[in-house]
A and B are shown apart, each in its own frame.
Chain A
Amino acid sequence: MASPTRSSSPVPSLPPPRPKSPPQYPDLYGKRRELLKVQMLEREIGFLEEELKSLEGLQPASRRCKEVHDFLMANPDPLIPTNRKIRRSHRFWKWLCGKSCFNFSWICCCFSGCSLRLSMPSCCNCCPSMKCWFCRWPRCHWPRCSWPSCTWPSCTWPSCTWPSCTWPRCACLRCTCPHCTCIHCHCPHCHLPTCCCCYFCCCLEKPSCGQCCTLPSLSCPDCDPCSGCTCSCPKCTKVCHCSNCTKTCCSPCYLC
């Protein structure tokens, strides 16, 4: 085996490596952000100086207050009590209403000469629980009052707990009235007490659950001769839902 030959001349040694430090990158991100902030502030200064200038010669606030005052005094408001003179003829009906309210309330309310019939039937004393507008309020048990809301106390819509039910399809309302526009429950297993939130059902037919429409006074027998179908509004044009009724009733406003 031949031995490696050694060179006779010395090999110059390389200098030790000197790794360079990474170059210093300019802090562009911070500078640009700072520049942007300054630009926005200087723009804001311009806007504020413009606004200060616009205040020169600006009229005081009293001028605008007067405009608000004049506007408010000029326009009526359906939610604000107003004062109106009450005619003598109405006072008679009001008195009559108060004396024999159960029988004459609907007359009073329908009385075309009633000066207060403006969206406020005047048999307000007839309804034992609340004023006439609210005779249709669910909690009023006035025999003539029931439409349009369901007062079934155990109505638990939409909290059906049957596992296979998925709200809102399961609304626990088994109303089968063809006119009903309630969200119906299609769950065959729904076991919660159902209620009829559709006025129609109480008069036309009972829903299939058999538990609904047990409200007093508005079940079908009471609809003949439509004692449950009186409407106090003289302008009413809606068809009564009772199959035997020939009266018309309506709700021109949500308060009826």
Chain B
Amino acid sequence: MSVAELKKRHIAATATVNALREQLKQKRILLLDTDVAGYARSQGRTPVSFGPTDLVCCRTLQGHTGKVYSLDWTSEKNRIVSASQDGRLIVWNSLTSQKTHAIKLPCAWVMTCAFSPNGQSVACGGLDSICSIFNLNSPNDKDGNLTVSRMLSGHKGYVSSCQYVPDEDTHLITSSGDQTCILWDVTTAQRLSVFGGEFPSGHTADVLSVSINGSNSKMFVSGSCDATARLWDTRIASRAVRTFHGHEGDVSTVKFFPDGYRFGTGSDDGTCRLFDMRTGHQLQVYHQQHDGEVPLVTSIAFSISGRLLFVGYSNGDCYVWDTLMAKVVLNLGSLQNSHEGRITCLGLSADGSALCTGSWDRNLKIWAFGGHRKVI
């Protein structure tokens, strides 16, 4: 077959793919008889109501000398690791605001960090395309720096996000600008599986975020610049389980919903969406009308019950959405003592009692419920 004939086949196949995608889209629209907010209204539900001092900033963690890009809580104790443009990871005691570790990184261009489930190690990655592991208990070198205990090399592009598999200190998943995600064995620094890439069907642009299902750690979801989120089974690297369309811009952040059957996404199109993992339905869109430029969604996190969806935006806002009613119930960005710049990352503590936000203003802030349990 000649190149010209192949090109004709390519054009025809592209047209078929587009037609099938349009058919799928129309069929899904027909199945969307309601959304979560519509169903909740039909049941007579009302939005959560917050007073002006119900959620307050009770700690400001100062110490980074550059923009904060990423943060992660430990799964048990109240420690936080943060990664910054200053080329350092800092481990904080969130109760006392003290810094327990300040790790100077071999590559300053860090984009992501994560705590291991046992809290003994931290992982980070960035423009060096390597995921570096640090053991917090190992001794410092002669310069007083913590040395890298493992380097996970294999990505052909920047490491955008990393997360340890829950309850498995030896396995970690990374996402990358090379359009793939990788499952690693941290002990041997070997790639166990590569999800996506040229041969197996996968994302067709940079992958920006991963989230592993806390209820079923064999499943994880990834978000990409190709405007899709994809669900993966770690046992099947050859293809994504499902692809979720709907966003009109880069999917910059993904997070599983606490029930393990749904996940949320945030995008450069300014919206967040809730998808059902098993059916592929788009159950809800969280979108606020804006005059002028639409702010990008940079980060999302669900509260421990799932009722609240915290969303960080590029304009410094941090909306608290009522997940059920699809209403903004609070804007942390407008509260006293809020960040002075874009919120780049956020995360809930393991017990759900506190939210930590990281920002371009170089600070991290901890927010908690500061109100009364109201009288009936």
Contact = CB atoms under 8 A, between A and B. Distances in A.
Q: Size class of B's contact patch? A: 35 or more
B305 A77 contact: yes
Given A124-B372, A131-B53, A131-B370, A78 B97 contact: no
Contacts of B281: 61, 64
Nearest to A198: B98
Contact of B13 (A31, A45, A62, A73): A45
Interface stretch (A47-55, A97-105, A212-220): A47-55
Contact of A149 (B36, B51, B97, B144): B97
A29 to B, nearest CB: 10
Contact of A81 (B27, B45, B49, B104): B49
A69 B21 contact: no
B13 A38 contact: yes
A109 interface: no
Given A68-B274, A84-B376, A31 B3 contact: yes
B49 A79 contact: no
Interface in A50-78: 51-52, 55, 58-62, 64-69, 71-73, 75-78
Nearest to B23: A52
A120 B54 CA distance: 12
A148 B94 CA distance: 11
B20 A148 contact: no
B367 to A, nearest CB: 8
B17 A45 contact: yes
Contacts of A133: 58, 368, 370
A48 B308 contact: no
A114 to B, nearest CB: 12
Given A61-B281, A168-B102, A72 B78 contact: no
Nearest to A180: B98
A133 B95 CA distance: 12
A85 B375 CA distance: 5
Contact of A148 (B16, B95, B308): B95
A1 interface: no
A78 B369 contact: yes
B16 A75 contact: no
Interface stretch (A6-14, A201-209, A227-235, A248-256): A248-256
Given A61-B34, A133-B370, A183-B99, 18 more contacts: A42-B13, A47-B201, A59-B31, A61-B35, A65-B36, A67-B261, A69-B36, A75-B305, A81-B50, A81-B369, A81-B372, A119-B353, A120-B373, A148-B97, A167-B102, A168-B88, A254-B95, A255-B368
26 contacts: A31-B6, A34-B6, A48-B17, A48-B24, A51-B24, A60-B31, A60-B33, A61-B32, A61-B279, A62-B39, A68-B306, A69-B43, A75-B304, A77-B307, A81-B51, A81-B373, A148-B95, A149-B59, A158-B65, A166-B143, A181-B93, A183-B99, A254-B58, A254-B59, A254-B94, A254-B95
